[in-house]
Structure 1
Amino acid sequence: MDELSAPNPVLEIVIGTLVLIIVIVVHGVGIRTIHRRFSKSWIHVNDFTPHWRTNLLLASTIGSLAALHFAETLLWAGPISLMGLIPSIRDSYYFVLDSYTTLGEGTVKLPDPWRLIGPIIAMSGLFTFGWTVGVLVSIMTEFGKLDRVRAKKGSRERGEL
């Protein structure tokens, strides 16, 4: 345990970078799976598809993305708790969520010799949230296209075009 209490920035950065890479790989696999599932469902959507079905598809996709982020934060909280840096898994998870989202409230902290891990967790959150936003923009673009088709169809039916 003495090696965990003495400051070693190289060890902090190496461990942090390894977990960051694992989180990014998990995110890549997860987000591709979620987007692929969305795409397979979306090809069956047309201007006759009920709104509730497209809204359910959007909700399930967003729920899946949120679950992916929760799983990724557990990948950080587990080692932090197992190493005894923050012994309680609940407090470890809180610390990780606080750092990952860059909220920075800071009521739970890492021991001083391990404080470099917090910003590395924040970097992983920035990377993964940015990637998620990109996917959501792509998905919402599809919804926008569908809305335009439905609007044109409605205008034609009302004789506005």
Structure 2
Amino acid sequence: MFIQILLGTGLILLSVIVAAVGFGVYELGLRRAHKWLITEPHRPKLFVVLASAVLAMLWIITAGVWIWAFAFRFLGMFSHLEEALYFSLTAFTTLGFGDVLLPVEWRLLGGMAAVNGFLNIGMMTALLMEVLRHVRRNQLEAQRAAREDNPLSNP
């Protein structure tokens, strides 16, 4: 039991580290695009931010699923990587069909994979909302500053 908890905790930490690095890379890209993002037109650029953020989040979540799949396969819980990936995905998304199960002596890891998925998906949702809020706030501030610099252009 303690081995499962230690191993599961390590996998969760690895997944969170991968998520943090992935989000850091995405945030660096946003910082580099800051001037472009705050110039008109704003709406299409907000869509680009949304689409790119969703793709980044999907990549991060997919990386977490693969981490667990490789661990399940490495520990010999499944004979094929596809089966380990399928179980990892259904556990990570908390879908859990129940058609593929871990061996009884490793079943705590299934719950830990689900907790990791729930944690990552929640974290990614919060980060997505924060990115959109931040970009939109910067766009509105740039719009307001432009109006103050040239009050005749926008009545």
Shorter-chain TM-score: which interval? 0.7 to 0.9
1:35, 1:135 within 8 Å by CA — same for their partners in 2? Answer: no
Contact 1:38-1:61 at 8 Å conserved across structures: no
Selected match of 2:79 from 84, 87, 112: 87
Deviations 1:140-161 (A, max 9, x none): 21354347987xx8xx9896xx
1:126 to 118, 121, 125: 118
Match of 1:111 among 100, 103, 109: 103
**Alignment-derived partner of residue 72 in structure 1:** 64
Q: Which runs of 5+ in 2 are unaligned?
A: none
The alpha carbon displacement at 1:120 in A equals: 0.7
Structure 2 equivalent of residue 33 of structure 1:
25
Cα deviation 1:48-75 (Å, max 9, x = unaligned): 1364344223212210110111011101
Query: Match for 2:41 among 46, 49, 54?
Result: 49
Aligned length: 148
* Cα pair 1:76 1:96 within 8 Å, conserved: yes
Q: Work out the CA distance in 1 between the residues paired with 2:98 and 2:13.
A: 24
Q: Which moved more, 1:85-94 or 1:137-146?
A: 137-146
Within 1, Cα distance between the matches of 2:102 and 2:2? Answer: 16
For structure 1, list consecutive stretches of 5 or more residues without a partner in the other structure.
Answer: 1-8
| Structure-2 separation of matches of 1:93 and 1:41 | 35
Question: Alpha carbon RMSD of aligned pairs, Å?
Answer: 2.5
Q: Relative to structure 1, is the Cα distance of residues 58 and 39 closer, same or farther in structure 2, using a 3 angstrom cutoff?
A: farther
Cα distance between partner residues in 1 of 2:10 and 2:42: 45
Counterpart position of 2:11: 19
- Call closer, same or farther: CA 1:107–1:147 in 2, change over 3 Å: farther
Paired amino acid for 2:18: V
SS of residue paired to 1:103: coil
Contact 2:37 2:135 in 1 (8 A): no
